[in-house]
Amino acid sequence: MFSDHTDHSDPYQLFKEWFALASAAEPIHPEAVTLATAAAGRQLAARPIARMVLLRGHDADGYVFYSNSHSRKGQELAANPHAALLFYWRQPISRQIRIEGVVSATSEEESDAYFRGRPRQSQIGAWASQQSAQLSSRQELEQRMSQFDQQFADQPVPRPPHWHGYRLRPQAYEFWQEQPARLHDRLVFTRDGYAEAASAWQCSLLYP
């Protein structure tokens, strides 16, 4: 259950506490998170889609992941920057966190710094993969890897212009903790606006 000492004024502090618990309990990719996006438009065009990404940074200003802007998620975020993240960590902690907000690109400097720290083969892969486009065969991908490996031989691999970071700035959180008889704990934080212009967080409990 939520402790009486839980900070009800700052959900990011609670996120950090839970993420630390998850990192200790689930050392293989505790940073794996479901990202849900939806294209702009009505009816079929606005249907949501979800996929797993890896959280690569977080602070009070938001949650950062990286991707190819030509991918489906990149195109959807360009058309409709509203998105949601869902973390789920199974036993022994049995908790999940939902975060909703608006996504924007990280700075060129931040994207460059992260890209420089990636393994070289992952850097080459960012050039070789036309993410979300149709692929005729695995051989085609391997040929593109070889092509860019040769192109950047004996030199640092630059960051592709279409590959960069995204930061989700939160406007809503829900913290969920499993309890017996499915009487789970749910703690919600909401506010108006984003970043510096945002109002104070409002906190409430929800029925399970």
| Residues belonging to the active site | 182
Measuring CA to CA, which residue among 54, 4, 7, 43 is closest to residue 189? 7
Q: Is 131 left (phi over 0), alpha (psi -120 to 50) or beta?
A: beta
**52-55 long-range contacts, CB within 8 A, separation 24+:** 54/29, 55/31, 55/85
Cβ neighbourhood burial of 205 (10 Å; 0-12, 13-18, 19+): exposed
Residue pair 30/23 in contact (Cβ under 8 Å)? The answer is yes
Tokens of 115: 């890209």
- 3-class DSSP assignment, residue 88: strand
